[in-house]
């Protein structure tokens, strides 16, 4: 077969990431890795370009050094360990699931170039599984003597969405392809599920959250950071591949293929909604302080341990953010545990009745898990901006991305209200608040001094 041999030309910044070795990956941000996907959408590489990227982006699990990771582990609290294990079990198990179901996709490849690329992906997914196997043995420690035993030991008690995607839809789609490799419609459905829902939506989102949390903590020299960044770079190739397959299918016959893609997304994306917060946990030492807030209440950050529970639940229900209106006094009172002091009914009524005051509460199932409040402030020469007044997340519901989601929700509301910007003040030693605001897109503008006038109490 004649295959292309010319190497694709990349911009210098992408070339640096494309060529980085494991040590250099410690200096690279996940967002830079993900820019391969954005650029790929603008200027789609060929399947053989992606193959050649794979050739030049080889890395070895055996080259990683987990000594510092092990030291972190030994020094971390029981709570940190539980949270890290919860997140890594999902990734580890997920990598094994995608390794075990990819072969029928290779058999069903509609062209030799696709067959070649998918064969490289099989090697990648096996390496990702081996990465977690080694991390588990050297950082956590295990008595198991082979991978099958370890996988049985780590298999997470997951929620319905995870089970449906990894134990029902993925293997049944692979089985359809194995039974009839010429079923191109099953192939398109499978690529939508595998490359778009599982890899682009679930895996890369979780990886981004975890790697950025490690960057905030200054732990980018750990073996886990380097290896996980190499995994994210591999996943960016896989996602580029999936987008290309679907783009070509729709160009070839939109009436036939677009409804299959759409139906698969409509059916599967709700499953990721309940899976994503679980994947988006922080790394072992990333324990945010119990609550963080704007300058008005940072002096009360020692108020902690409001909820009793000290370990992550076995399964986190879906999170939902709701905006409180004038009729919601009772719901605010029911969320009293989230506030510094018990809410006063006169202040609650006044707050909710004022259209420039906003309160968003995050519910985990039916339980109030956190809130963000904001006030629109207007100045004659500038217009209106949103002041992020206070942010709080209940201890038992931390590590699920709720703080970031609340800040993003208030930011979106500010945009919708026509504000030209949003601002917040926080103490410079409040790392958890800083990390959350950065994750939600905020940038440090200055380091002001705060003066206050207190009229009562
Ligand atoms: Fe993978
Ligand atoms: Fe992958």
Whole-number Å distance, alpha carbon 330 to ligand 1 midpoint, is 46
- Centroid of ligand 1 to alpha carbon of 380 (angstroms): 53
Distance 128 CA to ligand 1 centre (A): 5
Element (H, E) at 362: strand 357-364
Ligand 1 centroid to residue 191 C-alpha, Å: 14
Question: Distance between CA 235 and CA 121 in Å, rounded?
Answer: 9
**Burial annotation 365-390 (CB, 10 A radius, 16+ → b, else e):** eeebbbbbbbebeeeeeeeebbbbbb
347 CA → ligand 1 middle, Å: 51
Supply 7's token pair: 């190497």
Ligand 1 centroid from CA 264, angstroms? 21
Q: Which residue's structure tokens are 């380097």?
A: 226
Cα separation, 161 vs 214, in Å, equals 27
Tokens of 17: 């990431």
CATH top class, domain 281-446: alpha beta
Per CATH, the homologous superfamily of domain 12-272 is Ribonucleotide Reductase, subunit A (1.10.620.20)
Contact 369, 334 (CB under 8 A): no
| Nearest residue to 402 (alpha-carbon basis) of 358, 432, 443, 374 | 432
- What pLDDT is stored for residue 22 in this prediction? 86
Q: Which ligand is the nearest neighbour of the Cα of 227? A: 1
For residue 191, which ligand has an atom nearest its CA? 2
How far does residue 353's CA lie from ligand 1's centre (Å)? 50
For residue 192, the CA-to-ligand 2 centroid distance in Å is 13
The structure tokens listed for 211 are 């790697």
DSSP 300: G
Tens-digit pLDDT profile for residues 253-298: 999 999 999 999 999 988 776 554 333 333 333 322 223 333 333 3
**pLDDT for the residue numbered 300:** 29
Extents of the domains making up the chain: 12-272, 281-446
Supply the pLDDT for residue 116.
Answer: 98
Q: Of the bound ligands, which one is closest to the alpha carbon of residue 97? A: 1
Ligand 1 centroid distance, CA of 376 (Å): 44
DSSP annotation string for 25-43: HTT--HHHHHHHHHHHHHS
Nearest ligand for residue 125 CA? 1
184 C-alpha vs ligand 2 centroid, how far in Å? Answer: 21
Give the model's pLDDT for residue 6.
67
Q: Ligand 2 center to residue 221 CA distance, Å?
A: 24
| Distance from residue 125's CA to the centre of ligand 1 (Å) | 4
Considering the chain, what percentage of its residues have pLDDT values greater than 70?
Answer: 88
pLDDT in the model for residue 285: 31
| Euclidean distance between CA atoms 351 and 349, whole angstroms | 5
Strands 383-393, 422-423: parallel, antiparallel or unpaired by DSSP? parallel
> Which stretches of 136-166 are DSSP H helices?
147-154, 160-163
Query: Residue 430 and residue 428: Cα distance in Å, rounded?
Result: 6
pLDDT digits (tens, 9 = 90+) for 135-147: 999 999 999 999 9
Ligand 1 centroid from CA 271, angstroms = 19
Question: For the chain, which residues score pLDDT lower than 70?
Answer: 1-7, 158, 273-318, 457
Angle in degrees, CA 391, 397, 403, rounded to 5? 30
């Amino acid at each position: 077969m004649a295959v292309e041999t010319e190497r694709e030309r990349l911009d210098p910044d992408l070339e640096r990431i494309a060529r980085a070795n494991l040590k250099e990956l410690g200096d690279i941000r996940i967002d830079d890795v993900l820019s391969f996907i954005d650029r790929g959408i603008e200027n789609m590489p060929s399947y053989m370009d992606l193959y050649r990227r794979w050739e030049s982006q080889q890395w070895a699990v055996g080259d990683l050094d987990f000594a510092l990771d092990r030291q972190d582990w030994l020094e971390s609290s029981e709570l940190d360990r539980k949270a890290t294990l919860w997140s890594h079990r999902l990734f580890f198990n997920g990598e094994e699931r995608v390794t075990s179901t990819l072969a029928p996709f290779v058999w069903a490849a509609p062209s030799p170039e696709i067959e070649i690329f998918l064969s490289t992906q099989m090697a990648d997914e096996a390496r990702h599984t081996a990465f977690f196997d080694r991390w588990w043995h050297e950082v956590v420690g295990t008595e198991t003597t082979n991978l099958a035993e370890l996988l049985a030991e780590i298999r997470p008690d997951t929620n319905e969405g995870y089970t449906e995607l990894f134990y029902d839809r993925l293997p049944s789609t692979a089985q359809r392809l194995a039974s009839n490799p010429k079923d191109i419609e099953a192939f398109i459905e499978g690529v939508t599920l595998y490359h778009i829902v599982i890899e682009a939506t679930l895996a890369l989102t979780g990886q981004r959250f975890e790697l950025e949390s490690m960057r905030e903590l200054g732990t980018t020299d750990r073996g886990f950071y380097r290896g996980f960044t190499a995994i994210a770079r591999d996943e960016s190739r896989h996602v580029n591949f999936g987008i290309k397959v679907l783009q070509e299918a729709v160009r070839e016959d939109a009436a036939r293929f677009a409804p299959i893609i759409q139906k698969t997304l409509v059916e599967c994306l709700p499953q990721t909604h309940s899976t994503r917060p679980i994947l988006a946990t922080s790394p072992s030492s990333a324990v945010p302080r119990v609550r963080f807030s704007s300058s008005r209440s940072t002096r009360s950050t020692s108020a902690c341990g409001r909820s009793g529970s000290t370990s992550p639940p076995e399964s986190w229900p879906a999170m939902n953010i709701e905006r409180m209106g004038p009729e919601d006094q009772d719901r605010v009172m029911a969320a009293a545990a989230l506030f510094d002091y018990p809410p006063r009914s006169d202040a609650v009524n006044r707050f909710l009745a004022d259209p420039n005051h906003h309160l968003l509460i995050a519910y985990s199932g039916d339980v109030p898990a956190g809130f963000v409040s904001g006030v629109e402030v207007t100045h004659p020469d500038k217009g209106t901006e949103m002041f992020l007044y206070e942010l709080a997340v209940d201890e038992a519901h931390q590590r699920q991305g709720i703080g970031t989601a609340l800040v993003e929700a208030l930011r979106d509301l500010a945009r919708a209200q026509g504000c030209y910007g949003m601002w917040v003040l926080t103490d410079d030693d409040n790392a958890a608040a800083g990390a959350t605001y950065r994750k939600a897109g905020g940038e440090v503008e200055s380091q002001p001094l705060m003066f206050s006038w207190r009229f009562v109490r």
